[in-house]
């Protein structure tokens, strides 16, 4: 019995308490809370867990702060980089606009140049047509002029100039090099066009001079007859055995054969001469005159303008003559020439 009492007493002693007193006012009785001492171990454990959690949360918050600082720094760097990109884009847009304007100017110049070359080619065709309408009467001709139309590639690829990915100085340099090459090519073509223009100016002048010259040139014989006496020294046909200089050619024909002008010109003399008989003289210009002698009759008057092949007289044997024929002379600056040298047989 005594032992049971002691054990009960010991158990009661072990159940000790912690007392907490709360005083809300000095005039009021305090409030107390008794906490058994055995609860200290769970409390310590809870406090430890809470402290550990607080420490973990603090560490996490520190990491978040560091990450936030790094992200903020990165955002600042990206903002600066974006500003730089924007400035570069604006610079490239300005450069691209300037280069586009330069390219547009070059292409406009190219179109004008091609139009000039086409005009020159058409001019050459017109001149050739003009020349083809006139009968060529002499080998005296224009210089051969060849025009090579330079083809310019308008489809050349410059699309990178307006490409959104042109943001490198290398690409812009490539554009500048291509543009410079194109400008150099155009400069060379313009020089060629200038030469062609000067050539055509000279050609026009030559044509203006040459066509009338071809028309006036005495390139045919006045009649289709046998040559009975050539140009140069010959035995006197009237006897005596002497020699005389024959200043033309004699063409034997029947009476009243139509005598034709051998080139375009102006009749400067018609009349009778005791040696030449009925005589016609035509001035062809360029220092060239022709004479048609011993005609039976004359069909033109002084001052008349005649064309090559136009009938000017009828053949006969008037004046100092041994029979019906046409005495035909060509004179250059009043010096007798061999009429056969003026005949044009074609190319």
pLDDT for 139: 64
Q: Nearest CA to 321 among 261, 234, 238?
A: 238
- Domain of residue 301 covers 226-342
Q: Tell me the CA distances in angstroms from 26 to 21, 30, 31, 220, one per residue in order.
A: 13, 8, 12, 158
Asked whether the whole model's pTM tops 0.85, one would answer: no
Q: Is 321 within a domain?
A: yes
Three-state SS across 152-190? CCCCCCCHHHHCCCCCCHHHHHHHHHHHHHHHHHHHHHH
Residues in the chain where the model's pLDDT stays below 70 = 1-26, 28, 33-52, 54, 85, 92-93, 95-96, 99, 102-103, 131, 133-176, 179, 238-241, 346-347
CATH number of 280's domain: 2.70.70.10
| Strand, helix or coil for residue 228 | strand
- List the structure tokens of 131: 């020349």
- Which ranges in 217-263 belong to alpha helices (H)? none
Element containing residue 110 per DSSP (H, E) = helix 40-133
In a domain, 115, yes or no: no
Q: How far apart (Å, rounded) are the C-alpha atoms in residues 317 and 256?
A: 10
Predicted pLDDT at 263? 95
Evaluate whether residue 176 is within a structural domain: no
103 falls within a domain: no
State residue 331's pLDDT score. Answer: 96
Please name which of 263, 292, 288, 296 lies closest in space to residue 280, comparing C-alpha atoms.
Answer: 292
The answer to whether the beta carbons of residues 197 and 190 sit under 8 Å apart is no
Any domain includes 286 = yes
List the beta strands (DSSP E) in the chain.
17-22, 31-36, 226-229, 232-235, 243-246, 249-252, 258-260, 265-273, 277-285, 288-298, 305-306, 311-315, 325-332, 335-337
**pLDDT at position 120, please?**
74
216 in any annotated domain: no
Residue 42: CB partners within 8 Å, gap ≥ 6? none
DSSP-derived secondary structure letter, 150: P
Q: Is residue 82, in this structure, part of any structural domain at all?
A: no
Query: What count of other Cβ atoms lies within 10 Å of the Cβ of residue 276?
Result: 21
User: If 0-12 CB within 10 Å is exposed, 13-18 middle and 19+ buried, where does residue 161 land?
Assistant: buried
Quote the number of domains for the chain.
Answer: 2
Residue 279 lies in a domain: yes
Rounded distance, CA 128 to CA 277, Å? Answer: 44
């Amino acid at each position: 019995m005594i032992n049971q009492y002691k054990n009960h007493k010991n158990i009661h002693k072990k159940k000790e308490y912690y007392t907490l007193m709360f005083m809300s006012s000095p005039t009021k009785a305090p409030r107390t809370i008794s906490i058994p001492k055995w609860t200290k171990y769970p409390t310590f454990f809870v406090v430890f867990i809470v402290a550990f959690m607080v420490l973990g949360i603090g560490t996490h918050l520190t990491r978040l702060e560091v990450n936030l600082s790094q992200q903020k720094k990165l955002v600042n760097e990206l903002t600066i980089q974006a500003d730089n990109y924007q400035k570069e884009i604006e610079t490239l847009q300005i450069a691209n606009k300037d280069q586009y304007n330069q390219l547009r100017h070059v292409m406009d110049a190219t179109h004008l140049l091609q139009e000039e070359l086409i005009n020159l080619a058409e001019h050459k065709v017109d001149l050739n047509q003009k020349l083809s309408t006139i009968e060529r009467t002499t080998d005296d001709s224009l210089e051969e002029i060849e025009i090579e139309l330079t083809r310019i590639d308008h489809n050349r690829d410059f699309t990178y100039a307006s490409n959104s990915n042109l943001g490198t100085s290398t690409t812009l340099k490539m554009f500048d090099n291509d543009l410079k090459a194109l400008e150099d090519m155009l400069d060379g073509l313009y020089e060629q066009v200038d030469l062609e223009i000067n050539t055509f100016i000279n050609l026009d002048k030559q044509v203006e001079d040459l066509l009338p010259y071809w028309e006036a040139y005495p390139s045919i014989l006045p009649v289709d007859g046998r040559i009975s006496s050539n140009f140069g020294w010959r035995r006197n046909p009237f006897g005596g055995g002497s020699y005389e200089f024959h200043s033309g050619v004699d063409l034997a024909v029947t009476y009243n054969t139509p005598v034709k002008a051998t080139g375009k010109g102006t009749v400067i003399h018609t009349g009778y001469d005791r040696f030449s008989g009925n005589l016609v003289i035509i001035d062809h210009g360029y220092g060239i005159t022709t004479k048609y002698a011993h005609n039976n009759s004359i069909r033109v008057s002084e001052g008349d303008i005649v064309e090559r092949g136009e009938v000017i007289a009828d053949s006969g044997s008037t004046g100092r003559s041994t029979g019906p024929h046409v005495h035909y002379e060509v004179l250059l600056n009043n010096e007798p020439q061999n009429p056969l040298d003026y005949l044009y047989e074609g190319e």
